[in-house]
Amino acid sequence: MLQELVNHNEDLRKLRDEGYEVDAIGGYLVIHHIPYVANEDGTPTPKNNGKLVATLNLSGNNLNKPFDHTAYFIGQRPCNIDGSIISGLINNSNKQNLGNGLVVDHYLSNKPVGGKENSYYEKIKRYESIISKPAEYLDRNLTAKTFKPIRPDNNASPFNYIDTMSSRYEIQAISDKLKNDKVAIVGLGGTGSYVLDFIAKTPVKEIHLFDGDIFCTHNAYRAPGSPSFETLNKKQFKTEYFENIYSNMRSGIISHSEHLTCDNIDQLLCGFDFVFVCIDNAEARIFTTEFLGYSNIPFIDTGIGLYVTNNEISGQIRTTCCNDDSFDKIKDYIPTTNPEVDNAYRTNIQIAEINALNAALAVIKWKQFKGFYNMQINNNDYVFSINDMTLNKR
């Protein structure tokens, strides 16, 4: 219910985006963690566990103007900094059970200027300001704007907590272009792991991980995050390691702890909308991209070629996209051998930024393909030169 209400009503969206802990319980709007000053024992004490409650005036999922200026408060009686009861706030302090486990302690009555409530946003802001200011004066660390993660209350979202950034910047409709996709990442080395990190933060339905390697110490220096010594000692498959990490954030992370070969590559025919190929073995890259290309499955192939000259690392980052029937056009851009000049990439582990950039270019191109980012010219191949920081397009 809460997410639907937030999606449909700017008042609630503004409150949540400003950091308030918004909730909806049994027809009531509840704002958690309201700071206030309590004085039950004769000593004014700032607290941060009050709750504001207001009756919701709804038409379906659409929020109308508040019924009136009244509200409820859960907690001790809100006081001024000297311990005196805040005047013009509490009508009565009779405990009342509103149902659904919602038991309030005080009935509030404070009229706005002009006498009429124009919105829930203004109503909540007014009551919160009256109640919280004394507590915030006594303890500057207290705030009602906690930006606490919120769990979605339905199964429509893959996330374990609500994506408040998209709604805050009003790009939810744009993000929705990605939400039903089923994506595969082949190879979870440096680049593939960063692709996963970026894709995991989008609302795609499923992310399938294909890699048969163990997550080792050298992988920790190229992957997002900071695995512990104990974690490295577990010798987990890369896919299992990353599935465990990103399942903290979302559902739909599916591990396939195996390398793709000619014998099992038909797994990529399981309805994938897009595939990221992030492998550094030429033979595996060739049969994987050919299989995807001639099966009309959109994909992006990534690659890094580095070499050392004069005790400095030089090289290039490649991003090749096949998003329609363009495989015959782009296949010549995909390397068919393992060049000797890439030894620096294979041996130098302190290049996480190169892997991240390779992944970022790939994910940006995928988002262009999905209509998330604007794409004025649809190039299929991009080569970034580390030496002069230029991006060549073909």
In residues, how long is the chain? 394
Under 8 Å between Cβ of 31 and 23: yes
Under 8 Å between Cβ of 37 and 79: yes
pTM of structure: 0.72
The rounded distance, in Å, linking the Cα atoms of 255 and 239 is 5
Residue labelled with tokens 């004394």: 134
Alpha helices (runs of H) in 139-228, residue ranges in sequence order? 164-168, 172-175, 190-199, 217-220
Q: Please identify every stretch of the chain with a pLDDT value under 70, giving residue numbers as ranges.
A: 1, 150-156, 162-170, 172, 339-349
Q: 3-class DSSP state for residue 133?
A: helix
Residue 148, pLDDT score: 86
The rounded distance, in Å, linking the Cα atoms of 130 and 384 is 56
Under 8 Å between Cβ of 36 and 187: no
What one-letter code names the amino acid at 22? V
Residue 337, pLDDT score: 81
59's CB contacts (< 8 A; 6+ apart) are: none
In 3D space, the residue among 245, 42, 45, 248 whose CA is nearest the CA of residue 135 turns out to be 45
In 3D space, the residue among 394, 268, 282, 276 whose CA is nearest the CA of residue 335 turns out to be 282
Distances (CA, A) of 46 to 71, 81, 95, 185, 341: 21, 9, 22, 51, 65
Under 8 Å between Cβ of 83 and 43: yes
Distances (CA, A) of 383 to 103, 120, 319, 333, 344: 62, 52, 6, 10, 18
Rg (CA), the chain: 27
> Residue 79 class from Cβ within 10 Å (0-12 exposed, 13-18 middle, 19+ buried)?
buried
User: Domains along the chain?
Assistant: 2-138 (no CATH), 172-393 (3.40.50.720)
Residue 174, pLDDT score: 85
Residue 354, pLDDT score: 95
The rounded distance, in Å, linking the Cα atoms of 123 and 68 is 10
- 3-class SS string, 79-94: ECCCCCECCCCEEECC
Instruction: Please give the distance of CA 278 from its chain centroid, rounded to a whole number.
Output: 22
The rounded distance, in Å, linking the Cα atoms of 186 and 260 is 8
What one-letter code names the amino acid at 336? T
The rounded distance, in Å, linking the Cα atoms of 22 and 13 is 9
Helix (H), strand (E) at residue 8: helix 2-8
Distances (CA, A) of 281 to 10, 54, 103, 223, 301: 51, 61, 63, 19, 12
User: DSSP secondary-structure letter at 251?
Assistant: S
Residue labelled with tokens 């987990």: 236
